Structure 1
């Protein structure tokens, strides 16, 4: 019994058990209800869609979307380049991670932005596909 308790404690404390591992869809890809090409096709995920990895197998990855729904996707359809998705109707992307900073551009809901890193103070550094970069509030995006 002590061994099981120790093992559970070690697993809970490990970074893999607590860290979120996000990936993005490289090109439009089919999401399935099981890890097989013969499984039910649920829908097509758009390019840049951020997904949280839940289980990684040889050729398949079980992923979670921002609504908490679980799907399977072929591993080859994923990119290690991370993106975040805007979750609010409109969000300001600012020059620096400060409320009163200059607005660089406005991002609309469901827009995919390249994730450049977390600032550690509630902001995420992002880049638009046109190359424009800035900071957005972390509570206005998903995938960071």
Structure 2
């Protein structure tokens, strides 16, 4: 009995030492891609998403990915429809992109809710470097974005 308890404790200690799994975010490659209720083209289409729309990949099954969107909705999308390029969704009424990673930084441009920005660098101190489709770049508050 004692041996089982020691073994169980060792297993639990080993599990505790495992690193947390990082979230995987991907973006949709093309405009008008359907998200499905199940991993099959014959399944019910739930809605269409636009190019660059970010999703969190929860799991993969053959040619399909189970994803979550910014609203928390879960659906299936063909793996081939996902890009390795990372885009972020603006969830604030407006995200002000600044020249420096500071609230005092000079505003460069702003993007309204549901707009997208390309992720450029890992977030630091509450800010993330982003790029607009027109090529403009700067820093946005991570609290204004989804997909990090």
TM-score, length basis structure 1: 0.90
Report the counterpart of residue 18 of structure 2 in structure 1.
13
Report the counterpart of residue 127 of structure 1 in structure 2.
131
Q: In the TM superposition, what is the alpha-carbon distance from 1:71 to its structure 2 partner?
A: 0.5
SS in structure 1 at match of 2:121 = strand
How many residue pairs were aligned?
142
Runs of 4+ in 1 over 3 A off after TM superposition: 1-5
Counterpart mapping for 1:1-144 below 5 A: 2=7, 6=11, 10=15, 13-16=18-21, 19-28=22-31, 29-144=33-148
- Tell me how far apart the structure 2 counterparts of residues 14 and 70 of structure 1 sit (CA, whole Å): 25
Query: CA 1:41–1:116 in 2, change beyond 3 Å: closer, same or farther?
Result: same
Q: In the TM superposition, what is the alpha-carbon distance from 1:67 to its structure 2 partner?
A: 1.3
- Greater gyration radius: 2
Q: In the TM superposition, what is the alpha-carbon distance from 1:8 to its structure 2 partner?
A: 9.3
SS in structure 1 at match of 2:100 = coil
Q: In the TM superposition, what is the alpha-carbon distance from 1:14 to its structure 2 partner?
A: 3.3
TM-score, length basis structure 2: 0.88
CA RMSD of aligned residues (A): 2.1
- Tell me how far apart the structure 2 counterparts of residues 5 and 37 of structure 1 sit (CA, whole Å): 46
Q: In the TM superposition, what is the alpha-carbon distance from 1:57 to its structure 2 partner?
A: 1.8
